[in-house]
Structure 1
Amino acid sequence: MSDPLIIERNDDAWVFILNRPEKMNALSPALVQALTAGIQNAHAQAVPLLIFKGNGKNFCAGFDFSDLDTASEGDLLQRVVQIELMLDLLATSPAMTVALCHGRNFGAGADIIACCKRRVAEPGTTFRFPGIKFGLILGTRRFQNLVGTQTALDILSSTRTFDASEALNIGFMQELQAQEHWSTVIEAARNNNAVLSDVTRQNLYKVLYSNAESDQNLAALVRSAAAPGLKDRIRAYLKPN
């Protein structure tokens, strides 16, 4: 079985490649654990640049529901909490973080993108946050901080799909680039990192990306996920119309 996450390590940058293409890189427990451990290891080694992308047709399809029938309510709660802890680790990273996304991206996959400081999409990429349909409040404040309250309300409450062009217009994306040009995006991130010293850059990130909301984000998620019937709500969401 292939590793769910590939990490390409260089002195000045680690590239995290989600590697479950047959599952659209959906977030299985093993993938979430690998991402958490990988980000923690990068922080321990003071890696200044972390880049995230996905193998296959898309970046990430969000929560992996493939074992829903055998998972208990407690299992599901634990899994969404682990995802939120991973997202918080990424959102408050002392490194420059870059998301390179393509294809169709959903839920917690789009939340990973929202946690990154630099966000680039291939033209034609789409995004959707469907979690509110089964009662999960995950990553809401981070998305709000990027696009503003009214836009976040419109997109999150309707759970509608939006494309890369709209994402650029509302500030969710900062640049549209075809995959063959992503190497230039990475090189630009390297060059930008070189402008400031590591200490100065980290201090700047501490001010701009405070972890003051971390506990509130986790509390909101737990309250929403712990409401009775999470499994049934997910089943209802997955049921074909």
Structure 2
Amino acid sequence: MTRPTEADLNALDVTPGEAAEINAIAHPLLADPAPDANDELVQIRSTTDGVVFVTINRPDKRNAFDAPTIAALYEAFETLQGADHVRVVFIRGAGGTFSAGADLGWMRDAAGWSEGDNRTDAMGLAKMLKALHDVPALTVALVEGAAMGGGAGIVAACDMAVAVKGTHFAFSEVKLGLIPATIAPYVVEAVGARTARALFMTADGFDAAAAKEFGLVSHVLGSADEIDGFVTAFADSMKACAPGAVGEAKRLVNDVAGRPIDHGLMEDTARRIAHARVSDEGQEGVRAYLEKRKPRWAE
């Protein structure tokens, strides 16, 4: 496998109307070398009421990632940033494993690249994670089997995550003499700096219950059989929320996190709520509440 180029990162053109399920990433040295990239690496399926499913479709490789797979995910998440009708995006790995880690062949090749080549390659993963983080719709990871290394990083980059009881997690990079660098901003945001230090520096594995305690996942399901029911109920609940307001609420959190509560922030938040009040959604939502009816987006 040759070093991925910028063209690799823009190789796949995936739209929300195309097929699918959800997403992943794996742990180094657990997966066999990958086959050549194809247009089924990442699949997307969308419903008429704005629910999107994104899936890494490499079940025979336990959804291990390589440059073409990362490129496909990047294109999918970039596309979803411009899809105004989307309410919620569910992300999952095909075949019962969220992701077992980086593809072995990709890891072997990277070991022979220069530092500059490795930096270019790593930026592909960094851009993909940022594109996921910036999707305006609510993103939900559906995690089962295992989410190792970068796979757990994708879980952290989502707005929330649901894990099946018995799912295995680990950030094992230091056991290979590596560090979980590109995923670190999202993991630290999800679990906090102290917990991230412990997880990164010990490389200890942990289960779904511990992931919930750490803040990496929001809910733990008893078995994989409960996933479909959760998806249906959760998607139905999101119909009550105005799609545009959901995106603005997400941007609000991203923009105010870590900022000092000073006059500038007060003005910024006042400007945002004033704009929301006079927006089409704001006007419709308040009128619907006063008239004791459902707003248009909930019908």
Q: TM class, shorter-chain normalised?
A: 0.7 to 0.9
Give the alignment's TM-score, normalised by structure 1. 0.80
RMSD of Structure 2 on Structure 1 (CA) = 2.1
Query: Which residue does 2:27 correspond to in 1?
Result: none
Asked whether the 8 Å contact 2:81–2:134 carries over to 1, the reply is no
Amino acid at match of 2:42: L
Asked whether the 8 Å contact 1:131–1:137 carries over to 2, the reply is no
Return 5+ residue gaps in structure 2 as ranges. 1-35, 259-299
Are positions 1:63 and 2:96 aligned together? no
Amino acid at match of 1:155: L
Residue among 204, 223, 248 paired with 1:160:
204
Counterpart-to-counterpart distance in 2, 1:125 and 1:16: 20
| Structure 2 SS opposite 1:134 | coil
Task: Note the 1:104-119 alignment, pairs <5 A.
Answer: 104-119=146-161
Residue among 5, 9, 14 paired with 2:46:
9
Q: Which moved more, 1:186-195 or 1:79-88?
A: 186-195
Per-residue deviation, residues 64-92 of structure 1 (Å, max 9, x unmatched): 23134444234433222111111011112
Amino acid at match of 1:111: G
Counterpart-to-counterpart distance in 2, 1:180 and 1:6: 22
Asked whether the 8 Å contact 1:91–1:116 carries over to 2, the reply is yes
Amino acid at match of 2:78: Q
Counterpart-to-counterpart distance in 1, 2:255 and 2:154: 17
Deviation at 1:140, TM superposition (A): 1.7
Task: Note the 1:27-106 alignment, pairs <5 A.
Answer: 27-46=65-84, 47-71=86-110, 72-73=113-114, 74-106=116-148
Give % identity: 24
Asked whether the 8 Å contact 1:92–1:210 carries over to 2, the reply is no
Q: Which moved more, 1:4-13 or 1:99-108?
A: 4-13
Task: Note the 1:139-154 alignment, pairs <5 A.
Answer: 139-154=183-198
| Structure 1 SS opposite 2:141 | strand
Deviation at 1:189, TM superposition (A): 2.8
Larger RCO of the pair (alpha carbons < 8 Å, separation 6+): 1
Deviation at 1:212, TM superposition (A): 8.5
Give the alignment's TM-score, normalised by structure 2. 0.66
Counterpart-to-counterpart distance in 2, 1:145 and 1:169: 15
Return 5+ residue gaps in structure 1 as ranges. 214-241
Amino acid at match of 2:155: I
Counterpart-to-counterpart distance in 2, 1:91 and 1:36: 11
Asked whether the 8 Å contact 2:46–2:53 carries over to 1, the reply is yes
